[in-house]
Structures are given as structure tokens and as C-alpha cells.
Structure 1
Amino acid sequence: MSVRDFANLLNVSASSVSAWEADAGMARLRPSTQRLLDGALASAGPAVRKRFATAMVQDPVDDGSQGVTSDDMRRRTVVTMPLAAALASLGPVGDSSHRAGRVGAKDAERLDHAVMQIRRLGHQHGGENLWAAAARIAHNGYYLLEHSSYSDRVAYQLLTATSRAHMCAGWLAFDSGAHDAARSHYNEALTLARQSADASSQVHALVNLAFLSTFLGMPRQSLRYADAAEGIAGGRTAVVPRIRQATAYALAGERTASHKAITKARASLEAVKEEAADWYSFVDHAELDGIEGTVALLLGDPRRAERLLLQAIAKYGDSFARNRALYRVRLAKARLDLGEVEGAAISAGKALDDLSSAVASHVIRAELSTVARRLGMFSGVPGVDLFMGRHADIN
């Protein structure tokens, strides 16, 4: 939309919109602006809603408070044709907030199905092209909860589906580098899960808050979240709190506690064979190898990290290209720690292959940039100059 079209939609002046675009403090205005926008879109015609929804999918914009600017997003965000088609297949879920009235189980099921589709796309493509779409699904869930009528059973379904939508939006926001937004989505998900007394969703929210805290360098906070999740979890769901504990202990330098937690996680995975809830179906032997390899890297054991990360990478196909790329970057880190520069360049180059073809992840790009800075000290080593040239082309 033009600035004037957007201003007319919000019933404000074009100069106000221009000022918002230029203002580094835009985050302070977003809540009120979002309410104006939500109200305007609810009453706008379907053509406007469709146009705006398309823009949201193609150009998700962070408010700048996470260190990821809208210009950064525009440079990196490319929606491939297969991904665009997959997003289009979500159908009316992202554009049905104008509906009100009686809703039933089918409406809640469509919401939940859209969340599962977005989650699968995230495993394959990373978060940068998908965060806005997931947030829109969560918003639609809130709209149905607030403006529709439904039975108690459907209320539970809507609460759990909207909680899962916020979980998905949080993970995709995290992968886009928007950490405050991710925390906000996770906390919303936890609140909804507690309202519905859905234990699985509560565990999901807590372990993701634990993961975020570890990433931000707060292992004690991470352990509090992970311990709370373990207290709620039962059966296979205990695997995820334990791997979060293992990573947090490793970050804190507590080797014995970290090894004990990862051992318990592997035992939990082996002991429970029944079908798991969809959100932790990603936790398998490949993921445990990747997590344990990451733990070994944090604990200063690069040889063990290399072995485990190679095992994880070998088990991942294109449907989990995002995780494969992440572990290839960490394999490059392990090899650099071992002094194996040529091997590090090869692994980093393969991560670039994933990023160049299907994956858009701020987290992976940031870790890869760290590897590139280290590799840049070894000009002339076979493979290094080739990688550095390719890496420069994508930045």
C-alpha cells in the first residue's frame, strides 16, 4: 500500500504514517496502531484484507527493538514459489477475522490445522518468511474467542489452538531475531494453556521460554522454566524439559549436571514408544544428537561435538533443512576449535547451500557470520576463500 492508502485505512494523516516509519521509537506506538489497524481491517472490504495479508506474509517487519530492522528483513526475505503456494493453501484462516456468530469444532480444527502447516514450513524454511503469517493465525483465534459464540467443548478447542498458534509465532519470531516478540508470544501461549488446563501446551510454552533464556545467556532462568515444565510433563514430553536442562547446565559450566540431564532425556525417548503430541514430534534421535553436540561444544569438547553433529546432520532430510543448516554451522564451529579449518569451510559451505535454497533464519545467519569472521583469518586455505566470497554475496 502507499503511505496515503495506509493512512486512509487507519483514518490518520499521511504525515503521521511517514513519521512512524522514520521514528526509531516506533515500538512505543505499536499497540495503539495495531488496535486501529485491526479495527480498520475488520470493516474493510475483502480486497483490502487480501492485499494486506499478502504484504504481511511477504514482508514481515520487526519494530527495531530486537536489532533486526525492516530494511534487514526486506533484504533477506524472499518467498519462494513453493512456500507462497503452501501459505496460500492455508485458505481463509488468516482472513476470517471479519466473521462473527456461532462457531463450531470445524472452525477450531481449521485453526489448529493451519498452525501445524506453518510449523512444518518452519522446520523446512526457517522463521523469517513465516512469522507474520503465524501471528495472523493467532490473532484470528483471539478474534473468534472474543466475538463468537460457541459450546464449552469448542471453547477448549479454540483456547488450545490459539495457544499453539502463539507458540508457533513465538518460535518463528525467535528464528527471525525478534526475541522480545518471541517472549511475548510464549507468555500469551502459556496464559491460554493455563486457562484451558492443557498440560501439554503448558509444557510447550515453558520449554520454549527456557530455550529463549538459554539463548539470551540466562541459564538460571532457563532452568527454572525447564524444571517447571518437567514437573508438569509426563511420558515422552519429559524429554524436552530435560534437553533444555542439559543445555542450560552446559551454558552455566556444570558438566556433570548437563550430562545427567541429557542421559535422562535419551532414556525417556527410549522408554516411551507411543505417538507423541505433534509439537514435540521433532524430538528424535537426530535432534538429541544435535542437542548433545551443542552441549559438548558449550562444554569445550569439540571432538565429541563433531561426532554427534555429524550423526545429527546425516539423519536430517530436506523436510528439516532448517535444523540441518543450524547443525552444519555448529559443526564448522567445532572444527575451527579443533584447528581443522578446511573441514570447517566445507561444513559452513553446506550450511550456505541450505540458506541459499530454502532456509531463511536470522539465528542461523548470525551464527554463520560468527564462523565467517573466524574463517576470514585463514585466507588461502583451500575452500576458505570460496566460502568467504559466497558468504559476502548473501549479506
Structure 2
Amino acid sequence: MFRLARELAGISYSKIAAECDIKPERVGTLARGQGSVTSFDKVVAIADALRIPGHLLGLAPRPWEGTASAPVLPDRDEDTSARGREDVRRRQFLRAGSGAGLAVGIPDLVMQRAGRRIGREFPALLRERTARLRRLDDVLGGGDTYRVYLGEYQQTKALLRDSTCAEETRLNLLSVLAEQAQQAGWAAFDGGRETDAAGLYKDSYSAAVEAGDTDLAGNALAFLAYQTVAGDRKAGVEIAARSCRTIAHDAPAGVRALLHERMAWACAVAGLATDAEKALHHAEEALADIDSAPQPDWVAWVDSNELQIMSGRCWSELHRPLRAVPVLEAALARYDDSHARDKALYLSWLADSYLTAGEIEQAAKVTGRTLDLADGIASVRPKQRLAPFLKRLAQHRDVPAVADVLEKAAA
């Protein structure tokens, strides 16, 4: 199957290795007919990666079988619950097409040029491919996207090792590699692979520094701070501050806004209210500078509404519900349900603030909506976020609305 996948579908052994969680050299050995795969878990992983129907391998039908038909888009006048069901179907459809098949569906620029001399136009084409694949994160969790993003990173790394190019082209490729490492690191973090995420962020930082790309170097540190602050608040704040110092004063406005936002979050988690507010103010000032100047694709999602959400999250984390609730209510009303994972997470901070304010029924209502959105998302973060909150909410299980949402959570 591995040999046929390469010869007939053009899927490289390195991509198969990333998708099936097998070392690339073993994939090559198996493709030559040497050795065999006998582990049940590995057979399942290969079936899912190459979309082999279960019955062909003596397995039960795989979860993705029968979900790959085109989604039916809802009419504009359908109610919210109907749109929610369509969002779930859309995620199922995209998940069924993700992995090796989806990545190969985009022209495989790396595979076509590996081992050759690379032209100066290639890094820009590869960066465009990276941007297109980034859109998967809008609707899928890291459990679905990690191996896709990791495969892209591994191929670019191999390209730098095995091909020749001018020095300027090499530096541009290193910049793309740094961007891909961040994308893979984020998916790893979202999918519960904490150690992999930290390693990829550090690799990204090294590649960005070598490339002379201070913006991506600063963002690699910001990612690392976001992950670190949950376990070591002091270290997280220090890394976030370093990320802001790394970028130049004339960095794109979106980059400055993003890094100051993450600085604000680190400070909020550490209980530093004044520093958090100051960082939010710097982020707001940066966003005000955005005009027609080009911004890197990896900050395209940063806008005034996203900043309002981060502000509300910070005030919620600082136990200031009177400041958090109105900001989150207004911003989340404008936030589309198709971004299910992120909206579920953001709503959890709104529910938390309602509970802190003693609005038990409203907290339960928002929690129910959070559970609906998080259903079927391949991300560990909504569950991690909700677990301690549900324990707090359970102290009010005598309230009917709370009893209902606890039953939903258990189911």
C-alpha cells in the first residue's frame, strides 16, 4: 500500500510517515516488502491515514466512512440549532478529507522540487501553500491537523537539507520553515501533545533567528509563553516580555498587536492586573495603526473583535466579572459559530465570569452552549478548560439549569 500510494497517488514516504506515525525509514523498508505491520493500533492508524475502508482490513467501519459527501449549506433563515448541526457536519466533512489526502490535494510543490536547485520564487509559493493549509485550523482541532502540519514542516526541512539554492532563497525557506513549525506546534498543543509543541516552538525560534525574521522569532516566543504560563507563571510572563522585545519598532501592526495580546494574557494568568491592562492598551494602539500596509497571513485573524475577546478573557481570569461580561457578550455575538473550538473556549470564560458574579442560571446556560460547540472537535483544550469549571458549577446542582447541564456534560 505504501509503494502504491507513492507511485499512483504521488504521496511521499515522508508524508506517509507523518500521517501514520511511523519512522520514514521504516515506511521505505515496508514499501520494499520487508517486514510487516501487526499492531492493531498501527493498522487502524494506516487505515485512517490512507482512507482504507475498515472491511478491507477486517475492521469495523471507520468513523469517517459515509461522511465524505458534500455538506448541505443552511438557508439564511434557519435557526441557530440547525446552523449548529450544519457546522458539525461541515467539520465531519473536512475531517474526512484531512490528513494525507487533503494535503496532497494542494499541489505538492515540495515533492516536485526536492533534490533540485530551488528557484528564488519557490519560498513564496510554499508560503502561500502554508497559508491555505492554515485555514483548516478555523474549523478543525489539532487532533485532526497535527500530522498534516508536521508533514509539511518535515518536508521543508528535508528540502533545505537535500536541495541547493541561493543564500537569499535559503533564508526565505528558513522563514517558511519557522512559520510551519509554529503551525505544527499549535496543532500539537491543541491536540494535547505538550512536549511536541514546545519542541516545535523552539525549533521555530531557531529557524526564524537564522533567517533574520524577527517577527516570526517573536511569535515563536509568544507561543511558548502561552503554553508555559499555565504551569510556570513567572517564566511565562518573562518569555512573553521577551517576545515583545524581539520584534522591531516598525514591525507590522498585526504582529505587534498579537504579541502584546499574548503578553496581556500571561500577565492576567499571573494575576498582574496593571501589567495586563497596559499590554492590552499597547495591542489596541497597534491595531489602530493598521492601514493598507500588508500584514503576514499568520496574523490575519487579529482584529478589534478578537482583541475585545482577549480583553474579556483577561478580566475573567483576573476575577473581574463586571468588566469581563459585557465585553465578552458583545464580542461573541459577532463571532461565528463555524469557529466552534475557539468560540467554545471563549464562551467558557463568559460562563466563568457569570459564575463568579453569582449568576448561576446564566452560567449554566452559557456552559450548555459551550458543550454543544465543543462536541466532536479534536481538541483537548475545551475539555481541559471545562473540567475544573464544572466542579465549581456542581456546587449548585440543586438549581435545575445546573443539573441539566451537568447531565449533558456527563453524556
Give the TM-score category using the shorter length: 0.7 to 0.9
TM-aligned CA deviation for residue 157 of structure 1? 3.1
Between 328-337 and 238-247, the greater mean CA deviation after superposition: 238-247
The one-letter amino acid paired with 2:210 is Q
Displacement of 1:148: 1.8
Alignment match of 2:404 (pick from 364, 375, 386) = 386
One of 336, 340, 358 as aligned partner of 1:317: 336
Which residue does the alignment assign to 2:171?
156
Q: Choose from 225, 237, 241 the match for 2:259.
A: 241
- 1:90 aligns with 103
Shift of 1:328: 0.6
Equivalent position to 1:41, from 27, 35, 39: 27
Give the 3 Å change call, closer, same or farther, for CA 228–371 of structure 1 in structure 2.
closer
Which residue of the other structure, out of 171, 176, 181, is the alignment partner of 1:166? 181
Separation of aligned partners in 2, 1:335 and 1:131: 34
- How far apart in 2 are the matches of 1:267 and 1:364? 31
Return the match for 2:378 from 360, 381, 386: 360
Aligned positions of 1:68-147 closer than 5 A:
80-85=92-97, 87=99, 88-91=101-104, 93=108, 96=111, 99-104=114-119, 108-109=123-124, 111-147=126-162
Distance 1:94 1:101, change over 3 A: closer
1:286 aligns with 2:299: no
For 2:214, which of 199, 203, 206 is the aligned residue? Answer: 199
| Letter aligned with residue 395 of structure 2 | M
CA offsets, 1:152-194, max 9 Å, x none?
3432332122211110011111112222211100000011111
State TM-score, norm by structure 2.
Answer: 0.74
Give the letter for the 2:331 counterpart.
A
Determine if the alignment matches structure 1 residue 222 to structure 2 residue 240. Answer: no
Query: CA shift at 1:98, angstroms?
Result: 11
How big is the alpha-carbon RMSD for the aligned residues of Structure 1 and Structure 2? 3.3
Match of 2:388 among 370, 373, 376: 370
Q: Closer, same or farther in 2 for the Cα pair 1:335/1:97, shift >3 Å?
A: farther
Question: Is the contact made by 2:237 and 2:270 (CA closer than 8 Å) also made in structure 1?
Answer: no
| CA distance, structure 1, for counterparts of residue 163 and residue 326 of structure 2 | 54
Per-residue deviation, 1:269: 0.7
**Residue 312 of structure 1, CA deviation:** 2.4
Residue 218 of structure 1 deviates from its aligned partner by 2.1
CA distance in 2, matches of 1:40, 1:98: 23
Match of 1:303 in 2: 322
Give the 5 Å matches for 1:8-23: none
Letter in 2 for 1:132: R
TM-score, normalised to structure 1, is 0.76
Please state whether the residue corresponding to 2:142 is helix, strand or coil. Answer: coil
8 Å Cα contact 2:175/2:216 also seen in 1: yes
Stretch moving more, 223-232 or 312-321: 223-232
Going by fraction, where is helix more abundant, 1 or 2?
Answer: 1
Q: Which runs of 5+ in 1 are unaligned?
A: 6-33, 59-73
Q: What is the DSSP-based 3-state SS (H/G/I as helix, E as strand, rest coil) of the residue aligned with 2:400?
A: coil
Q: How far apart, in 2, do the equivalents of 1:204 and 1:388 lie? A: 38
Q: Distance in 2 between matches of 1:95 and 1:45?
A: 21
Aligned letter for 2:218?
A: V
Deviates more, 1:317-326 or 1:361-370: 317-326
Q: For residues 133 and 53 of structure 1, what CA distance do their matches in structure 2 show? A: 14
Q: Which runs of 5+ in 2 are unaligned?
A: 3-20, 38-43, 52-62, 64-88
Secondary structure class of the residue paired with 1:306 = helix
CA distance in 1 between partners of 2:267 and 2:398 (Å): 39
Partner of 1:270: 288
